[in-house]
Amino acid sequence: MTVHPFPAPMLQVDKLSLEYADAHRVVRATHRVSFDVHEADRFVLLGPSGCGKSTLLKAVAGFIAPREGQIRLDGQAVAGPGPDRGVVFQEFDQLAPWKTVRQNVVFGLRSARKLGAAQARERADEVLDQVGLLAFADAYPHTLSGGMKQRVAIARALAMQPRILLMDEPFAALDALTRQRMQAQLLALWEQVRFTLLFVTHSIEEALVVGSRVLLLSPHPGQVRAELNAHAFDADSTGSAAFQQTSQRIHQLLFEHQQVDAPIRRRAGQPGAAP
């Protein structure tokens, strides 16, 4: 038997280029992006607006097919969405408004994981308890704050026991204090459950607090600029000198030598297309 010193990465993104195309033009969102995510990593994609973070996350979720390159989860090429990937978006309206908090969590469990009613309810209450919302299980989403709705969305995704949790700026629309509290709560939940996280943000501070590893992407089209270790930082380290130094270094890496490649190219056969 061969013994491998390091386990293979859970998620392997290899030279991934992603594009949006319509009849007239092609927009390249990411260019040959590669990274590996290991079990229990809190892996953050950080970059300026428009660098392709959401597009990358959607590709990992299986909503967008690669133009070139590959995404592998546990060695299998990702070919579409699946319950092995739980997604939490930025919007507060991702819950069904006509279902209670518990019903929102139960719904996916019954359809995708084929759990019986009692089992699904038990599992739902377990995760609602983990995110501190068991007392609100019978409430409807419109009676909750934005932060509470996001915690329900996190609970719903975690209930499915996905291999990896994908989060696209889940706290960006919250006020600064709630956002900090949500970051701390996410870390506390991670300490408890040790899920694997792929988290998108354009906030340097959020990346360092939430992430254990941070991938820096250059402006549009997104290319890998650097990868940093952020294990040392948590919600209490934002005031430290080391935190400030790392933030500054990231700022320089992100915004120095911005490349001016034209991200849009004509489709073959269109006026102005390359020969």
Residues of this chain that interact with ligand ATP (CB under 6 A) are 20, 27, 29, 47, 49-55, 202, 220
In angstroms, the Cα distances linking 143 to 99, 140, 146, 147 are: 12, 6, 10, 12
Site string for Mg ion, 106-145 (x = CB under 5 A): ----------------------------------------
Residue 173 interacts with, from ligand ATP, Mg ion, none (CB under 5-8 Å by kind): none
Q: Which does 202 bind (CB under 5 to 8 A by kind): ligand ATP, Mg ion, none?
A: ligand ATP
20 binds, among Mg ion, ligand ATP, none (CB under 5 to 8 A by kind): ligand ATP
For the CB of residue 221, give the shortest distance to ligand ATP in the complex, in Å.
Answer: 7
CB-nearer residue toward Mg ion: 12 or 54: 54
What sign results for the dihedral spanned by CA atoms 265, 69, 29, 86? positive
Q: Which residues contact 190 (CB under 8 A, 6 or more apart)?
A: 42, 197
Q: Is residue 55 a contact point for Mg ion (CB under 5 A)?
A: no
- End-to-end, the C-alpha distance of the chain in Å comes to 53
Considering CB distances under 5 to 8 angstroms, the limit depending on partner class, which of Mg ion, ligand ATP, none binds residue 52?
ligand ATP
Residue among 125 and 169 whose Cβ is closer to Mg ion: 169
Comparing CB distances to ligand ATP, the nearer of 51 and 133 is: 51
Contact 34, 13 (CB under 8 A): yes
54 lies in the binding site for Mg ion (CB under 5 A): yes
Q: Which is nearer to ligand ATP, 64 or 139 (CB)?
A: 64
Contact partner at residue 63 from Mg ion, ligand ATP, none, CB < 5 to 8 Å by partner kind: none
- Give the span between the Cα atoms of 34 and 37, in whole angstroms: 10
Shortest Å, Cβ 57 to Mg ion: 8
Residue nearer to ligand ATP on the CB measure, 57 or 120: 57
Rounded to the nearest 10°, the torsion over CA 111, 117, 122, 124 is: 40
Can you read off the two tokens belonging to residue 264?
Answer: 């849009």
Task: Tell me the torsion sign for CA atoms 198, 203, 209, 214.
Answer: positive
> Smallest gap, in angstroms, from Cβ of residue 89 to Mg ion?
10
Q: Does 201 bind Mg ion (CB under 5 A)?
A: no
Q: What DSSP state is assigned to residue 144?
A: S
* Residue in the shown chain whose Cβ atom is closest to Mg ion: 54
Q: Residue 45 or residue 115: which is nearer to ligand ATP going by CB?
A: 45
Cα angle: 218, vertex 222, 223; to 5 degrees: 70
Q: By CB neighbour count within 10 A (0-12 exposed, 13-18 middle, 19+ buried), where does 64 fall?
A: middle
What DSSP line would sit under 63-88, residue for residue?
Answer: SS--SEEEEEETTEEP-S--TTEEEE
Q: How far apart are CA 8 and CA 33, in angstroms?
A: 19
* CB nearer to ligand ATP: pick between 50 and 132: 50
Q: What's the min distance (Å) between Cβ of 53 and ligand ATP?
A: 4
Which residues make up the interface to Mg ion (CB under 5 A)?
Answer: 54
